[in-house]
Amino acid sequence: MNFSNFINAPIDLNTTATSRVFTDGLNSGDHYYSFTKQQSSSFDPYLDNGNTYAEIDSIQDTNGNSIFAPGEVTAYSQFEGDLNQSINTILPPGTNNVPVYPISNGETEDKLTGWITPYDNAGNTSDTLSNTSVLNTRNFSSWVDGSANVQLQHTTCDRNTTNKSPDTDENLSSSGELGTGSVISPIPTDVSTQPTTTISKSTSSPTAITVQSAGNVHIENGTLRADTFTYQSGYSLSLYSGNGNVDFGSGARDELDLPQISSTTVSINYANTTTGGVIYNSGNGNRVYDAITFKDGSQILLTGIETLKFADTTINLSVVPNDPLFSQQWDLGITGVPDAWRFTTGSSKVLIGIEDTGLGTDSSGKINPDLRSSIFAGNNYLDESSSFSHGTEVNGVIAAASNNGIGISGINWNSDVFNIDVVGGDAGDYDLAGATQLLINQANSKGQRLVVNLSLAGGDTSAFDQLVANNQDKALFVFASGNADTSSLASPANLASTYSNVIAVGAVWGTKDYYGNAQTPGTRITYSGWWGSEYGTGLTLVAPSEFVTTTATHTAASTPYNFGYGGNASNIFNGTSASVPIVTGIASLIWSIEPNLTAGQVKAVLSETAYDLGTPGYDTTYGFGIVNADTAVRRAIALSRGAA
């Protein structure tokens, strides 16, 4: 900005209501908002820059000469160029000036939103402050009634005009006026409409345990169902892989039976202790296995096994939380999540970013009570959708409160979650680039790795691509392949072909489809005349869809949401939207195990440990296969111990 500018004619806030939306045009000069108060306050303005270059600062004219000087800036916005800007600081008493100033020519669609909460002299928020006023002696009484909320909304503008008043036409400007190419608003990839036809197809997928024996090595690989293996003696090394278990919730386990063996005659080396287990490569990378060793030195290695049944005792290996709907969460069993929970339930080293619709709230302003607390950018998290809150469903899959005795279990029990509303073009909504920059900033401030969940299609911009490209070490992006049933991926999932830190996720069935028709677990979802999981070049992984999660539903955007769980056929979480958060949650577990991995390494770990489907090896219908948390976590542990 130009620091020689006079502080003349600042635009006062005229705040007479607890929450005020202020609309103004940005012309060729710097632009000031000003107010005077007698107490410290918090100050959290956000400038949604759209596609333009603008900055915000907080300034006090401490020497009283009516000219801004660099030393009088109390806080700068954090980012360069056309990224969204934010300040989070304590604002001192006195006259505070908030300039918003463009740094390049061109149309803008800036939106400035701010939250100010008064503090007493000890720094505590207060309900009893008085005599706080904006410039021109307007009472700022709304600050002291407990609501303490100011919103500035700064929209529009052709900065080359001299007209300071808002231009209605430009307020409603189309993307064509932005001069940077068209921007498609992202839309959730959930399928919320009822199908009109009921034709389903069933395709083949491996359903039998495969056995390989060579020399003294015996390998048995299970299926996506509950498998029972019976130990066969006579080999120096036996390896049993349960793989997924879609039947786990109904009580059926991947089980290794050792009917002739007493547990007292062997040593069991559990993999989930600090240096426990045995590292072995059975063809898809070194992983840590649970090991059973016999007195003669022969050994059994285990992965994806939930139960060991000896002659004298039964040992259960997986984690079973007390959430009552866990038994319906076949999506967790088929992806090995309860097995992976033995090793981690998430750590503070990871931030999970959810760019979606925001979260539905009830009449008290609360989110679904089975969701953990989340980080928000002001009130951007509020979901303006009618009917149902897509973001609430996504959040629940990844991070519902687990083992809390209610509802469902989330995949990640502990890591930070940040919800940002990017859908609908509502006041305060971010675009993908702005939201992503905010998430990266948050993760950097905490030294965290970042997994970004985008259960949506559309909204890709060059600015967003640049953020993906520039953060390939520490930010992993998980996208929906799309629901159009086509042989090419939706945007931005197609970025998975280009970037090592982008994962494109398609959707597969469990044992039944939407109509209750039997399906082979791990079959690509495709309905005639309704929806199908997009596939093709770049598809990385597949994951379940059509399962239970947290819900928030209401009759209109103006009424509060009601909370629940989408447990019945009419409101199960549908579409590739549901598949993405499965992968996001599992990726967050991988980074919780080993935060030193790059995002590309996490993608590689998930890919090489997936359960292969379709034609052997990578294919464009299933990518590397269905994600498996147990095998992936075991691979990450091996890497963390220095294995290749």
The binding site for Ca ion (CB under 5 A) comprises: 222, 227, 242-243, 245, 254, 323, 370, 384, 401, 404, 407, 421, 424, 426, 429, 612, 614, 619
* Residue recorded with tokens 């959810």: 354
- Alpha carbons 194 and 571: distance in angstroms, whole number: 10
Which helix (H) or strand (E) segment holds residue 442: the answer is helix 432-446
Beta partners for 435? none
Give whichever of 256 and 639 is closer to Ca ion, judged by the CB atom.
256
C-beta of 260: minimal distance to Ca ion in Å?
A: 23
Contact 38, 132 (CB under 8 A): yes
Considering the complex, state which of residue 32 and residue 289 has its C-beta at the smaller distance from Ca ion: 289
Minimum distance between the CB of residue 322 and Ca ion, rounded to whole angstroms? 9
Calculate the CA dihedral of residues 67, 68, 72, 78 and round it to 10 degrees: 170
Closest-by-Cβ residue to Ca ion is: 424
Residue nearer to Ca ion on the CB measure, 245 or 631: 245
Output 110 or 630, the one with its CB closest to Ca ion: 630
- Of 287 and 449, nearer to Ca ion (C-beta) is 287
Shortest Cβ distance from residue 480 to Ca ion (Å)?
A: 18
Residue 498: phi and psi, rounded to 5, are -100, -40
Element (H, E) at 94: strand 94-102
Nearest residue to 623 via CA among 546, 530, 533: 533
Least distance between Ca ion and beta carbon 613 (Å)? 5
Q: How far is the CB of 76 from Ca ion (least distance, A)?
A: 28
Minimum CB separation of residue 628 from Ca ion in Å reads 10
Q: Given CA atoms 282, 287, 297, 220 in this order, what sign does their dihedral have?
A: negative
Cα–Cα distance for residue pair 28/33, rounded to 1 Å: 16
Interatomic CA distance for residues 631 and 243, integer angstroms: 8
The residue ranges of DSSP E strands in 423-536, in sequence order, are: 449-454, 456-457, 475-480, 502-508, 527-528
Nearest distance from residue 132's CB to Ca ion, in Å? 32
Give, in degrees to the nearest 5, the angle at Cα 154 between 153 and 157.
Answer: 150
CB of 215 to Ca ion, least distance (A): 26
φ, ψ for residue 525, nearest 5 deg: -75, 125
- Nearest distance from C-beta of residue 63 to Ca ion, angstroms: 43
| Measured distance CA(525)–CA(626) in Å, rounded | 13
Question: E strands within 340-390?
Answer: 350-356, 387-388
Which contacts qualify for 67-76: CB closer than 8 Å, 24 or more apart? 67/3, 67/4, 67/5, 67/6, 67/7, 68/1, 68/3, 68/4, 68/5, 68/7, 68/97, 68/99, 69/3, 70/3, 75/43
Q: Which two tokens stand for residue 173?
A: 């400007």
Closest CB 384 distance from Ca ion, rounded Å: 5
Q: Which is nearer to Ca ion, 99 or 566 (CB)?
A: 566
Question: Nearer Cβ to Ca ion, position 10 or 249?
Answer: 249
Report how far residue 332's alpha carbon sits from residue 402's, in angstroms, rounded to the nearest whole number: 13
Q: Which is nearer to Ca ion, 98 or 334 (CB)?
A: 334
Asked if residues 331 and 547 have their Cβ atoms less than 8 Å apart, the reply is yes
CB nearer to Ca ion: give 135 or 480.
480
DSSP string across 193-248: SPPS--EE-------S-EEEEETTEEEEE--SS--EEE---S-SEEEEE----TTG
Smaller CB separation from Ca ion, 218 or 449: 218
| Alpha carbons 117 and 139: distance in angstroms, whole number | 16
Kindly state the smallest distance separating residue 459's Cβ from Ca ion, in Å.
Answer: 12
C-beta of 1 vs 319, nearer to Ca ion = 319
The dihedral formed by the CA atoms of 249, 505, 471 and 497, expressed in degrees to the nearest 10: 150
Which residue lies nearer to Ca ion by CB, 152 or 401? 401
CB of 75 vs Ca ion, minimal distance in Å: 27
Please report how close the Cβ of residue 614 comes to Ca ion at its closest, in angstroms. Answer: 4
Q: Which is nearer to Ca ion, 227 or 290 (CB)?
A: 227
Minimum distance of Ca ion from residue 242's CB (angstroms): 4
Cis peptide before 166 (omega within 30 of 0): no
- Report CA-CA distances (Å) from 320 to 305, 338, 393: 14, 7, 22
State which residue, 419 or 448, has the beta carbon closest to Ca ion.
Answer: 419
